[in-house]
Amino acid sequence: MAGTRLNELRENWLNPPDLVDRIPEVVPGYPDRIVPKDDKAAAELKKRTLTNLYNVRPAWLNHAHRTLDEAVAEAYGWGNDFRAGMLSDDEILARLFRLNQDRASAELIAPET
Measured in whole angstroms, the distance separating CA 77 from the mean position of its chain's CA atoms is: 20
Percentage of residues of the chain with pLDDT beyond 90: 90
Q: What is the pLDDT at residue 108?
A: 79
Distance (Å) of CA 104 to CA 74, 96, 100: 22, 12, 6
70-74-79-83 Cα dihedral, nearest 10 degrees: 10
pLDDT tier at 106 (50, 70, 90 boundaries)? confident
Q: What is the pLDDT at residue 84?
A: 96
Global pTM value: 0.80
